[in-house]
């Protein structure tokens, strides 16, 4: 499975590991077409912006079309509200669920081969290999690797728009932090083993794959981004159940939430991981069955 871990920063809320404030003021980078769509109903409008939960500072400011959509919106909608002190509470909730109780450990839930790989990696980083659950360790390893590649979570786009809209727009949610944590907790031991195994195998192999994904996002190429995400399923069919939990199940619930907002009336700027927009089960396709979807 090629570089599966690097696809997760398009969908998984890795920003929960970071508790600072977003600051990004470098010169703009040319964008061919922003990863932005407009969903229109008889009563409301939703701008769907496909975000990166971790980004590089030089990616800011974003395309002006994105900011115009944000300024035209009445409310800011995030996967989970991470404003102010709430992020600390979320981090505490995640840590509480990520740690094994006394007498239990990752070793009891992982295959010997995966645990051996984990021990070797954690020894280099000074992290406890057995104390935390595999899903948390996978995300932590990925977060550290992304930082090394210059993809800082302090530059994540949710934080960017929270800072931009502070005190200006009400904040709504598509899921909430508890739902996201519960989704990760729902992964079976087998799924967590696979999840962690391929993170360990791909964590040092960022290279060209990450740059290609960034190029697809910067070009607003939803088809190319979907291709990256789907490659894993072709290579490892066992990953289908994980993919369903990370993408399909969440997309279905998010679409229902967006529809609720549209029916309530008003204009919404929805910041959601870019991977949730693309593909046959993505928000664009699901919402496009009922509403007009265009690109601003």
According to the model, what pLDDT value does residue 236 have? 72
Range name among 93-97, 104-108, 129-133, 151-155 with the lowest pLDDT average: 151-155
According to the model, what pLDDT value does residue 206 have? 67
State pLDDT tens for residues 7-66.
444 444 433 333 333 333 333 444 589 999 999 999 999 999 999 988 899 999 999 999
Is the model's pLDDT at 243 over the cut of 80?
Answer: yes
Q: 111 vs 150, which has greater pLDDT?
A: 111
Mean pLDDT of 252-277: 97
133 pLDDT band (50/70/90 cuts)? very high
pTM to 2 decimals?
0.89
Write a three-state SS string for the chain: CCCHHHHHHHCCCHHHHCCCCCCCCCCCCCCCCCCEEEEECCCEEEEEEEECCCECHHHCCCCHHHHHHHHHCCEEEECCCCCCCHHHHHHHHHHHHHECCCCCCHHHCCCHHHHHHHHHHHHHHCCCCCCECHHHHHHHHHHHHHHHCCCEHHHCHHHHHHHHHCCCCCEEECCCHHHHHHHHHCCCHHHHHHHHHHHHHHCCCCHHHHHHHHHHHHCCCHHHHHHHHHHHHHHCHHHHHHHHHHHHHHHHHHHHHHHHHHHHCEEEEEEEEHHHCCCCCCHHHHHHCCCEEECC
Average pLDDT of the chain? 85
What percent of the chain has pLDDT above 90? 58
255 pLDDT band (50/70/90 cuts)? very high
What percent of the chain has pLDDT above 70? 87
According to the model, what pLDDT value does residue 233 have? 66
According to the model, what pLDDT value does residue 29 have? 43
State pLDDT tens for residues 173-222.
999 988 999 999 999 999 999 999 988 988 887 666 678 888 899 999 99
According to the model, what pLDDT value does residue 21 have? 31
């Amino acid at each position: 499975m090629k570089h599966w871990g690097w696809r997760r920063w398009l969908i998984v809320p890795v920003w929960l590991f970071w508790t600072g404030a977003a600051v990004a003021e470098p010169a703009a980078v040319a964008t061919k077409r922003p990863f932005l769509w407009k969903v229109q109903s008889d009563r409301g409008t939703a701008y769907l912006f496909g975000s990166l939960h971790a980004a590089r500072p030089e990616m800011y400011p974003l395309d002006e079309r994105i900011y115009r959509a944000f300024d035209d919106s009445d409310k800011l909608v995030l996967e989970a509200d991470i404003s102010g002190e709430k992020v600390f509470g979320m981090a505490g909730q995640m840590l509480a669920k990520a740690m094994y109780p006394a007498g239990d450990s990752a070793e009891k839930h992982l295959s010997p081969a995966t645990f051996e790989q984990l021990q070797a990696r954690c020894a280099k980083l000074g992290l406890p290999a057995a104390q935390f659950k595999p899903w948390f360790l996978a995300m932590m390893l990925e977060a550290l690797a992304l930082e090394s590649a210059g993809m800082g979570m302090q530059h994540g786009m949710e934080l960017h728009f929270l800072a931009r809209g502070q005190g200006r727009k009400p904040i709504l949610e598509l899921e909430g932090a508890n739902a996201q944590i519960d989704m990760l907790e729902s992964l079976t031991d087998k799924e967590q083993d696979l999840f962690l195994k391929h993170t360990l195998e791909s964590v040092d192999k960022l290279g060209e794959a990450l740059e290609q994904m960034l190029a697809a996002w910067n070009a607003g190429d939803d088809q190319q981004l979907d291709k990256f995400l789907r490659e894993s399923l072709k290579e490892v069919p066992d990953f289908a159940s994980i993919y369903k939990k990370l993408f399909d199940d969440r997309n279905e619930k998010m679409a229902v939430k967006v529809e609720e907002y549209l029916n309530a009336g008003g204009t919404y700027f929805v910041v959601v991981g870019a991977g949730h927009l693309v593909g046959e089960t993505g928000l664009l396709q699901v919402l496009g069955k009922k509403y007009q979807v265009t690109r601003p």
